[in-house]
Amino acid sequence: MRTAVVWMRNDLRLADNPALFSAMQSHEAVAPVVVWSPEEAGAWALGRASRAWRARSLAAIAESIRAIGGTLTILSGPAAEALIGCALLIGADTVVWNRRYEPTLAAVDENVKRRLESAGIAVRVLPGSLLVEPDALTTQSGSPYKVFTPFYNAALRTGHDLPLPSPEHILSPATLPSGIPLSALPSSPADAPDIDRFWTPGERGAEATAERFFSDIVDDYERSRERPDTDGTSRLSPHLAFGEISPRTLKSRADEIVRCNGECHVSEDAVAFTRQLYWREFAYHLLHHYPHTPELPLRRGFDVFPWSRDPDCMDAWRSGITGFPIVDAGMRQMLATGWMHNRVRMLVASLLTKDLLLPWTDGSRWFWERLVDADLANNTFGWQWVAGSGADAAPYFRIFNPVIQGERFDPEGAYVKRWVPELEAMPASWIHRPWSAPSGVLAAAGVRLGRTYPRPVVDHAAARLRALAVYGSIRDAER
């Protein structure tokens, strides 16, 4: 009986899983395996929020595989030894997996491939996590894209295949390695977010989240996606990060949402959602072509940026006690749920890198630990974009004003009140700038500045001028 091993990683799903599909087409028996080897991920091993998510996601995929007759085996790493041992034991002639793009993980995969092939075991690697492979597109001059819109247009022209169906039955090989029981894997760290309250990890949770988005939210996506006080985005990011749903499935679903007023066309809201999926593609394109960027700026002029070191400000930012309500709400939302609204991610990152001049790499590390959707490509791209050191980055003079942004995107202060309960009784007109509220307003709301809620860690107007000077000098040096 021809047998294949499917090495599952950040593709914890049955539907539209090219590696699983391909193995099942070519082989009668299939053994899906996960290799437990956190040390092989190097400096970017999963953070604590992601570890907590993965424990649940693994349990979910193991159950789904069991329900169709298969068995997910968890092997102990290093990956090459584990996979060779497994393939020899069960008589598999091929190991199949979906490609990874993170530089360290891609290097691990290359090494594992070589080792398996030297042991006489065939390897098949398939694209499975993106709409467009990062090396499939280049500019007319043959270089990688650094600007989103031309990348997006080129990617749309390339198109993509339709999603593959889920297998209905998996035939397991007669023998399987004993593996590690799921219960023996390190369980959730104590200070991880309260995942079970806010999320349902796993493919079914991903499908339910997508279903809810496409039936209830997408129609207003373009308007409400910028509003942290509404449920206006899909919240699919952790499901995408763990590969519990594929971007092809989401893109195909979005393409089906057609509006007809005179002429029929894909709805503008669905197009806006698809465009966001292509920001993810762009981030992977950049990470693949510029693998140093998780640690170093893409724009080398930023190598000499005079970042500050201020542990007290860093602690205030991390804990959500900066005195800027919308920033504190975002940081606390992340600590509690493992997720933060995109608009607020931009605001907290701008406060860190521009007002406080603290290194974006410290911010990206903290996000990496605390986000359930921590994704090396998106996180690196987001941080470098806000810091101004990345591709298609925010211009150096864009320094978000946390008061104006709060008033614009959280006009009633509902988002702040949810995550910063000390300010619950503040009227909307003062909630984004409690430090300038009249004393009577503060007293009536039970707020004592510096006691129940902090004063701002920095004066935004002065910090803005300081940042403009520093950023301006980097821009001048780059010319």
Q: What is the largest CA-CA distance in the chain?
A: 80
Pick one of 79, 82, 371, 458: the residue that binds ligand FAD (CB under 6 A): 371
Q: Select 382 or 434, whichever has its Cβ closest to ligand FAD.
A: 382
Stretch that binds ligand FAD, among 2-10, 46-54, 253-261, 375-383 (CB under 6 A): 375-383
Stretch that binds ligand FAD, among 15-23, 125-133, 149-157, 236-244 (CB under 6 A): 236-244
Nearest to 372, CA basis, from 276, 241, 278: 241
CA distance 398 to 19: 43
CB atoms within 10 A of CB 324: 32
State the nearest-atom distance from the C-beta of 39 to ligand FAD, in Å. Answer: 22
Q: Binding mask 240-279 vs ligand FAD (x if CB under 6 A, - otherwise)?
A: xx----------------------------------xx-x
- Does residue number 345 form part of the binding site for ligand FAD (CB under 6 A)? yes
Measured between alpha carbons, how far is residue 191 from residues 47, 56, 120, 381 in Å? Answer: 11, 16, 45, 26
Q: In sequence order, which residues have a C-beta less than 8 Å from that of residue 18 and are 6 or more positions away?
A: 98, 126, 127, 128, 164
Stretch that binds ligand FAD, among 8-16, 187-195, 198-206, 365-373 (CB under 6 A): 365-373
Q: Kindly list the strands in the beta sheet with 73-76, ordered across the sheet, starting from the edge strand earlier in the chain.
A: 73-76, 29-36, 3-7, 92-98, 122-126
Pick one of 40, 244, 269, 373: the residue that binds ligand FAD (CB under 6 A): 373
Q: In sequence order, which residues have a C-beta less than 8 Å from that of residue 360 and are 6 or more positions away?
A: 349, 352, 353, 383, 384, 386, 387, 389
Pick one of 210, 349, 352, 474: the residue that binds ligand FAD (CB under 6 A): 349
Stretch that binds ligand FAD, among 98-106, 289-297, 366-374, 460-468 (CB under 6 A): 366-374
Of residues 282-321, those binding ligand FAD (CB under 6 A): 283
- Does residue number 386 form part of the binding site for ligand FAD (CB under 6 A)? yes
Pick one of 374, 394, 463, 474: the residue that binds ligand FAD (CB under 6 A): 374
State the nearest-atom distance from the C-beta of 279 to ligand FAD, in Å. Answer: 4
State the nearest-atom distance from the C-beta of 235 to ligand FAD, in Å. Answer: 4
Pick one of 111, 166, 342, 473: the residue that binds ligand FAD (CB under 6 A): 342
Determine the distance from the C-alpha atom of residue 232 to the mean position of all C-alpha atoms in its chain, rounded to a whole number: 17
Which residue's CB comes closest to ligand FAD? 382
Stretch that binds ligand FAD, among 108-116, 185-193, 317-325, 381-389 (CB under 6 A): 381-389
**Chain residues that interact with ligand FAD, rule: CB under 6 A:** 225, 233-237, 240-241, 276-277, 279-280, 283, 342, 345-346, 349, 367, 371, 373-375, 378-379, 381-383, 386
